[in-house]
Amino acid sequence: MGEIGWEDFEKVEIRAGRVVAAEPFPEARKPSIKLTVEFGPEIGEKRTSAQLTAHYDPEALIGKQVVAVVNFPPKRIAGFKSEVLVLGVPDENDEVVLLSPDLPVPEGGRMY
């Protein structure tokens, strides 16, 4: 694993947001869910898709706080514009478990 400098890490904007909409994404190559995440007044709502179907139902994600990288360029996935990258860690079966704050935090709060 290569080392990075603190300056490199500071370039990555990792922020907290709240899922305000979620729906199945059957057009994706792997089972996924489309998410709309609110990041507060500075950033607003952003959309993404994530392979979360093993542990999450779309309806249950609404209202959940998540952590995402918000300064990647947009990416097209099966005709869908993904604007942020929600962060997760694979479980023992390589299925994504979302990272989220363990206490409520303001939408748009930046990770330090």
| Domains identified in the chain and CATH numbers | 14-98 (2.40.50.140)
Q: Please state which of the ranges 4-8, 41-45, 54-58, 65-69 shows the lowest mean pLDDT.
A: 4-8
pTM of the predicted structure, to 2 decimals: 0.93
CA-to-CA distance for 10 and 5, rounded, in angstroms? 9
Residue 103's φ and ψ, nearest 5 degrees, are -130, 150
Report how far residue 13's alpha carbon sits from residue 70's, in angstroms, rounded to the nearest whole number.
Answer: 6
CA 22-87-13 angle, 5° bins: 110
What tokens does 111 get? 């990770």
Instruction: Look at residue 1 and tell me whether its pLDDT is greater than 80.
Output: no
- Return the pLDDT at 48: 97
